[in-house]
Amino acid sequence: MKHIRSGIAAALTLAAAHAFAANLGAIDLSSGSAAFSNTPIAGGFTDTLTLTLTMPSIFNGSITSVLNGNQDVDFTSITLTGPSGVFLFNLVLGDPVELWAVPAAGFSLGAGSYTMTLIGTNSAGIGSYAGNLAATTVPEPETYALFVAGLLGMGFIARRRR
């Protein structure tokens, strides 16, 4: 009987832990930007979102909580973790409508898979949040070298014509 109670307690604990965490899936930034949204359960939550960059990129993004009546999403932290390290979003606007964003210069990220983790609490009124993420590829050094070589070639041709 003791083992049955322990088993039931363990099963309920695991079920409760999964209820507070949501995997929002993968977001595709191949077109340059993408949007997402979620309505987490009331109480504490941890949501995750994955994205993959095929080339080094400058990453930008913002997440805004939606406020309506007694609905209120409050974030504790929003982080982006991957091969280039751990990056923190900044709180730009506090309650009643929260706005979290990447610093103005963006995050310089290498190619690879990244996980965004959103931690917070949701009111009993069950509010929502939405975000927009963008990645702009950074030209490889060879691209700059070819550009400079082209400029030098044009300068040489212009000088010879005189």
Find the mean pLDDT for residues 101-124: 91
Q: In this structure, is the dihedral angle defined by the CA atoms of residues 97, 103, 105 and 108, taken in order, positive or negative?
A: negative
Query: Which tens digit of pLDDT belongs to each residue from 3-39?
Result: 444 444 444 343 444 445 667 788 888 788 899 999 9
The rounded distance, in Å, linking the Cα atoms of 103 and 130 is 18
Question: Mapping DSSP to helix (H, G, I), strand (E, B) and coil, where does residue 145 land?
Answer: helix
Query: Which tens digit of pLDDT belongs to each residue from 68-89?
Result: 778 889 999 999 999 999 999 9
Q: In this structure, is the dihedral angle defined by the CA atoms of residues 134, 105, 52 and 120, taken in order, positive or negative?
A: negative
Task: Domain ranges for the chain, please list them.
Answer: 20-141
Q: Quote the pTM value.
A: 0.71
Q: CATH code for 20-141?
A: 2.60.120.380
The rounded distance, in Å, linking the Cα atoms of 14 and 9 is 9
